[in-house]
Amino acid sequence: MGSPSTDPRAALPGTVVPKRRNTELAMLGFAVLITLAAQCIVDLTVTGSLRPELATFGGWFAALWVVVHLVVRRFAPYADPLLLPAVAVLSGLGLTMIHRLDLAALQADAEAGREDAPVQLLWATVGVALFVAILVVLRDHRLLSRFAYTLGLVGLVLLAIPAVLPASVSEVYGAKIWIRVAGFSIQPGEFAKICLIVFFAAYLVDKRDVLALASRRVAGLELPRGRDLGPVLAVWVVSILVLVFERDLGSSLLLFGIFVVMLYIATERASWLLIGLGLFAAGAFLAYQLFGHVRVRVDTWLDPFAYRDEGGYQLVQSLFGLGTGGLFGAGLGGGRPDQVPVAKSDFIAAAIGEELGLFGLVAVIVIYLVLVERGLRTSLVVRDAFGKLLAGGLAFAVAWQLFVVLGGVTGLLPLTGLTTPFVAYGGSSLVANFGLVAVLVRISDAARRPATPPPPPKQALGEAPTEVVSS
């Protein structure tokens, strides 16, 4: 499919395709403005005066986005204009909430020690560096498909490392998903996620004809042959292993969900979704029967108030926070989000819900929605199958992760310990998600770039029988 000259985009070679870089600049400016406003409001509400470091923070944060914008202008001029502003406003809000929780910790205990917001700003800088590196090095997203199997292996190794390492290095709060070296802690699973999505995309583009066509129809559903179940079963087993050896419900669910949905996108067979759901149900049942840590999560989810003094305390506090926030919230700096344990990383959505209320939390969700929509749109428009699947997978990964996290915070789903992308405190998550957006920006540049106009025909028109249409 998709030969350039029957492509609707190429119908008028004369028209100038808008790059929309100035729109992006304006939106980025707006995002920085929102962040600065939020910072000022927090400082004025909590301490009554602006902190002197605010100027440094503002300058640094704005400079990050100026750099990002200039790099995009230079290396991906046709990229989607909304991806980066959405990321900017989300990470700005995240930094503000982390700073706000820092202030709360300082007020409770002046000796509270280090603040986390400057650390997070440093991680954002690392993330921007990764973003720039990917855009500069990766000039065409199709190059990734050449390294797909390598990346798949890297992803698996990254995923497996914490399980192999001794618990003293890899375990925090019961989840063995960390590498803690010399004061730094990294969650390799966040990077594994992206590597595996690239691998899934390349693998499924290769094999999708087999997975989609060889099927028989049972009760209106096209069921795949038994042996084609291999890949989905393999991923299922890997997710279960992650659950067993790393005790991490979140990564396990994330991995399996992404694969099943990418399988569905690649083959257009709804039966894969049903098979995935079936496998998930079986896995969930087994895990509940066999593993204590899963049972604790499920029990606290079903009735958090019964366990409010033990495992359910966090969730109960989060629900109280959301309830206190109400429709319009307590105002930035006006609530008590520090009452929720680990509010900065796992429960930052509860902090936002408490201080900005339902309207604020929904606004944040809609901004994520814009990000995801632009990703899916990129997937629709881009011409090559690998790019389509990769963009679809990456966009879905963000949406799925957000759904699982918010579900956990609001009590809709069992708690998982995934991070809210871009907002939550955590270096690995932030850096990895910047990498994810860099790949999306690269694909969207390819998607929106006009097809290069074909060279003018040299031969006389009379000799040319028809205009050449196929590529």
Partner 1 sequence: MTAEIVLQVFRFGFLLLLWLFIFAAFRVVRADLFGGRAGRVASVPPRAAAPGRKRGRGPRTLVVTAGPLTGTKITLGEQPILIGRADDSTLVLTDDFASSRHARLTNRGGQWYVEDLGSTNGTYLDQQRVQGPLLVAPGQPIRIGQTALELR
Give the residues lining the site for partner 1 (CB under 8 A). Answer: 1-3, 6, 8-9, 11-12, 15, 17-18, 20, 23, 27, 30-31, 33-34, 37-38, 41, 44-45, 81-82, 85-86, 89, 328-332, 334, 356-357, 359-360, 363-364, 366-367, 370, 373, 461, 464-467, 469-471
Burial class (CB in 10 A: 0-12, 13-18, 19+), 239: buried
Nearest residue (CB) to partner 1, 24 versus 338: 24
Q: Alpha-carbon distance 273 to 263, whole Å?
A: 8
Minimum CB distance to partner 1, residue 421 (Å): 17
Query: How near is the Cβ of 70 to partner 1 at its closest, in Å?
Result: 20
Tell the residue number behind the tokens 């490392």, with chain if given: 161
Element (H, E) at 223: strand 221-224
Minimum separation from the CB atom of position 8 to partner 1 (A): 5
Measured between alpha carbons, how far is 10 from 7 in angstroms, rounded to an integer? 5
The least distance separating partner 1 from the CB of residue 319, rounded to whole angstroms, comes to 22
Shortest gap between Cβ of 366 and partner 1 (angstroms)?
Answer: 5
Q: Which is nearer to partner 1, 15 or 168 (CB)?
A: 15
CA distances to 159, 258, 341, 418 from 151, in Å: 12, 16, 36, 22
**Closer by beta carbon to partner 1, 64 or else 332:** 332
Which residue lies nearer to partner 1 by CB, 8 or 166? Answer: 8
Q: Is 146 exposed, middle or buried (0-12, 13-18, 19+ CB in 10 A)?
A: exposed
28 vs 260, beta carbon nearer partner 1: 28
Closer CB to partner 1, 23 or 56, in the complex: 23
Neighbours of 173 (CB within 10 A): 10
Q: Which is nearer to partner 1, 177 or 212 (CB)?
A: 212
d(C-alpha 198, C-alpha 209), whole Å: 18
Whether 201 contacts 389, CB under 8 Å: yes
Residues 104, 109, 110, 114, CA torsion sign: negative
The 3-state DSSP class for residue 185 equals strand
Q: Looking at 288-367, which runs of residues are DSSP E strands?
A: none
Least Å distance between CB 195 and partner 1?
Answer: 30
Note whether 397 and 368 are within 8 A (CB): no
Find the shortest distance in angstroms from Cβ 26 to partner 1. 8
Nearer to partner 1, 108 or 461 (CB): 461
Task: Report in angstroms how near the CB of residue 59 gets to partner 1 at its nearest.
Answer: 21
Nearer to partner 1, 165 or 363 (CB): 363
Return the amino acid letter for 122. L
Dist. CA 74–CA 100, nearest whole Å: 36
- CB 144, CB 198: distance < 8 Å: yes
d(CA 451, CA 197): 27
Q: Least CB distance from residue 458 to partner 1, whole Å?
A: 16
Q: Determine the residue type at 120.
A: Q
